[in-house]
Amino acid sequence: MANFKIEGMKELQKSIKKLGQVPQKCVTPAAKKGMNIALKSAKKNAPEDTGELKAGMKLIGEKSRTKGKKVYQVVFDRSKNDIFQKKNKEGKVTGYYPASQEYGFFARNGRYIPGFHFMKRSMEDNSGAITKKIVNEMSKNIDKALGGK
């Protein structure tokens, strides 16, 4: 098992303890700025044919009942489903382009075409930068809420 040390985490924990509860207005911008790193990386590494795949990626905030929690996901825009979905002659959806590019697919001749895993790699390769960005933004926002700077 690997141990990680996050710079600035102890100061952040002390500030949160001082503040009591973490305000939502501190959490949301920090989470969004952190996930923007993953979004940019995914767009940069996505396969490019027409450019619709890159243009179709966006961040969606998950709705939570828990205060002080915010989760963002990199997803594909539903408004572009007419471009992304593959339909057969009967009009039934038989494939989804972004998923096939991420995970791979079987060709008509039965051969497996491997995926690019561009979304997975965007999170893996940038996990340190994302964590650092979130911690820094949280620290700034909490300091602001405490009345400093």
- pLDDT (tens digit, 9 = 90+) per residue, 27-45? 899 999 999 999 999 999 9
Strands (E), 7-68: 57-61
pLDDT at position 30, please? 93
Confidence grade of residue 137 (pLDDT, cut at 50, 70, 90): very high
Q: Tokens for 37, please give them.
A: 């790193």
What's the pLDDT at 148? 64
Return the pLDDT at 3.
59
The token pair at 80 is 């572009």
Task: Kindly state the greatest CA–CA separation across the chain.
Answer: 65
Model confidence pLDDT, tens digit, residues 83-99: 999 998 999 998 899 99
Burial of 35 (0-12, 13-18, 19+ CB in 10 A): buried
Angle of helix 127-146 versus helix 118-125 axis, rounded to 10: 60
- Say whether pTM exceeds 0.95: no
